[in-house]
Copies of this chain bind each other. A is one copy, B any other.
Amino acid sequence: MNSSPQAEVFEVPAEVFEAAYWLRVQSNSLKQTKALVSELSLQFYKLGWLSGTGGSVTLKVHEHNVPKQNQFIVMSPSGVQKDRMSPEDMYVLSSSGSIFSPPPTKSYPNNPPKCTDCAPLFLKVYEMCNAGAVIHSHGLDACLVTMINSSSNEFRIRNMEMIKGIQGHGYHDELVVPIIENAPSEEKLVESLTKAIRGYPKSTAVLVRRHGVFIWGDTWISAKTQAECYHYLFAAAIKLHQLGLPY
**Which residues of A, 177-204, contact B by the 8 Å Cβ criterion?**
182-185
Q: Is A81's CB within 8 Å of the partner chain B?
A: yes
Q: Which chain B residue has the least Cβ–Cβ distance from A64?
A: B110
From known contacts A53-B165, A225-B52, infer whether A144 and B236 are also in contact, taking CB-CB under 8 Å. yes
Residue with the highest number of chain B CB atoms closer than 10 Å, among A138, A183, A212, A238? A138
Instruction: Check A226–B171 contact: CB distance below 8 A.
Output: no
From known contacts A51-B229, A147-B245, infer whether A184 and B171 are also in contact, taking CB-CB under 8 Å. yes
Binds B, one of A7-15, A119-127, A155-163: A155-163
How many chain copies?
4
Instruction: Check B232–A52 contact: CB distance below 8 A.
Output: yes
Interface size class of A (residues with CB under 8 A): 35 or more
Instruction: Check A229–B52 contact: CB distance below 8 A.
Output: yes
Q: How far is the CA of A215 from the CA of B225 in the complex (A)?
A: 24
Q: Is A140's CB within 8 Å of the partner chain B?
A: yes
Q: How far is the CA of A212 from the CA of B235 in the complex (A)?
A: 15
**Which residues of A, 18-68, contact B by the 8 Å Cβ criterion?**
51-54
Q: Is A239's CB within 8 Å of the partner chain B?
A: yes
Q: How far is the CA of A235 from the CA of B165 in the complex (A)?
A: 23
- Picked from B52, B147, B239, the residue with its CB within 8 Å of the CB of A144 is B239
Instruction: Check B51–A228 contact: CB distance below 8 A.
Output: yes
From known contacts A171-B184, A184-B170, A221-B81, infer whether A54 and B162 are also in contact, taking CB-CB under 8 Å. yes
Q: How far is the CA of A53 from the CA of B223 in the complex (A)?
A: 12
Quote the shortest CB–CB distance from A190 to chain B (angstroms): 16
Q: Is A99's CB within 8 Å of the partner chain B?
A: no
Chain B residues lying within 8 Å of A81, measured Cβ to Cβ, are 221, 224-225
Chain B residues lying within 8 Å of A140, measured Cβ to Cβ, are 232, 235-236, 239
Q: Is A241's CB within 8 Å of the partner chain B?
A: yes
Q: Which chain B residue has the least Cβ–Cβ distance from A79?
A: B225
A-B contact pairs, 16 of them (CB 8 A): A52-B162, A52-B226, A81-B224, A81-B225, A138-B162, A138-B232, A140-B235, A144-B236, A159-B182, A159-B210, A161-B182, A161-B208, A161-B211, A171-B184, A238-B239, A242-B242
